[in-house]
Amino acid sequence: MKKIVLATANQHKVKEINQILKGKIEFIGLDELGFDGEVPEDQITIEGNAHQKADFIFQKYGLATIAEDTGLFVNALGGDPGVYSARYASKQHSNLSNIDLLLKKLSPFEDRSAYFKTVFCLVTNNGIQYFDGICKGRIIKNQSGVGGFGYDPIFTPDGYEITFAAMDSLTKNKISHRGIALENFIKSFNLSD
């Protein structure tokens, strides 16, 4: 089985990605590599951040590395928080304060449409590849649901009446930005069942 380093410090992402890949690829976490430092992430696009994270670990260890970056793009806010989704309210990456700030900024607007976008970047000796996925939906006014992570309690995907946080993880994975991006990755490596 192929082994690829997964450059993320976010354990929720690791769990979701492993659920979607169902053992088709073996991912090595940063902890298994013995890396416990900070991976730089200071680019102005999610593509740039995904590449920066994957390339940083690839340059350090010489192993095929994949990293992802995700943003929530809210149309009425000109695409904010976008690439700054993790540190929207503060550098502390607090999900609750990010949600509070977003709901406050969006309160004057009728248009609550938004989308999540995920970009995976794979860096190997053969070069760089990108895989992306988008999930459109809307921001609801009050948090609902206890599953998922990040902005999931306020995001209802198109075609559904419940938020990502109120869905079971299999349903979220099937339609989510991250699920779609990983599906593109799986297809490109002929890993489909």
Using CB under 6 A as the binding rule, whether residue 163 contacts ligand ITT is answered as no
Is 31 an active-site residue? no
Q: Are the C-beta atoms of 153 and 163 separated by less than 8 Å?
A: yes
Shortest distance, position 9 Cβ to ligand ITT, whole Å:
4
Active-site residue (options: 31, 36, 69, 168): 69
Q: Which of 69, 123, 182, 186 binds ligand ITT (CB under 6 A)?
A: 69
Handedness of CA 95, 117, 153, 106 (dihedral sign): positive
Q: Which of 133, 137, 148, 157 binds ligand ITT (CB under 6 A)?
A: 148
Q: Are the C-beta atoms of 68 and 41 separated by less than 8 Å?
A: no
Question: β-pairing, 127-139 with 113-124?
Answer: antiparallel
Using CB under 6 A as the binding rule, whether residue 152 contacts ligand ITT is answered as yes
Q: Which residues, at least 6 apart from 24, have a Cβ–Cβ distance to it below 8 Å?
A: 1, 186, 191
Q: Which of 35, 61, 130, 149 binds ligand ITT (CB under 6 A)?
A: 149
Using CB under 6 A as the binding rule, whether residue 133 contacts ligand ITT is answered as no
Stretch that binds ligand ITT, among 20-28, 58-66, 99-107, 146-154 (CB under 6 A): 146-154
Task: Indicate the residue among 65 and 85 with the shorter CB distance to ligand ITT.
Answer: 85
Q: Which of residues 35-54 bind ligand ITT (CB under 6 A)?
A: 41
Q: Are the C-beta atoms of 155 and 166 separated by less than 8 Å?
A: no
Task: Indicate the residue among 64 and 164 with the shorter CB distance to ligand ITT.
Answer: 164
Q: Which of 20, 52, 73, 85 binds ligand ITT (CB under 6 A)?
A: 85
Using CB under 6 A as the binding rule, whether residue 132 contacts ligand ITT is answered as no
Q: Residues with catalytic annotation?
A: 69
The binding site for ligand ITT (CB under 6 A) comprises 8-10, 13, 41, 69-70, 72, 85-86, 95, 98, 148-152, 164, 176, 178
